[in-house]
Amino acid sequence: HNSWQQAQSTAGGVKLTQVNPKTLESLKVKGLYFAGEILDVDGDCGGFNLQWAWSSGYTAGHFCSIK
C-alpha cells in the first residue's frame, strides 16, 4: 500500500445498495444524502473520481434542496 501523499482516491464507504440511485438519499435515514468518496465508488485514474465527486454532489444537493 502507498502513503496518503501518493493516494489518488479512497476506497470503501456507503454501499450503493443503501442509497436511492436517482437522488443519493439514504434508504435507512430519510433526508440524509451522500456524495463523493463517502460512497463506495472507485473510478479509474484520469478524472473519473473528480467527475463523480462533482456529479454526485450536484445530484445530492439538488434533491436535498427540493424536499
Model confidence pLDDT, tens digit, residues 7-65: 777 788 999 999 999 999 999 999 999 999 999 998 888 889 999 999 999 999 999 99
Residue recorded with cell 464507504: 13
Residue 14 DSSP label: B
Q: Are 35 and 53 in contact (CB under 8 A)?
A: yes
At residue 45, what is the residue type? C
Global pTM reads 0.84
What is the Cα Rg of the chain in Å? Answer: 13
Q: Are 14 and 34 in contact (CB under 8 A)?
A: yes
- Residue 39's pLDDT is 97
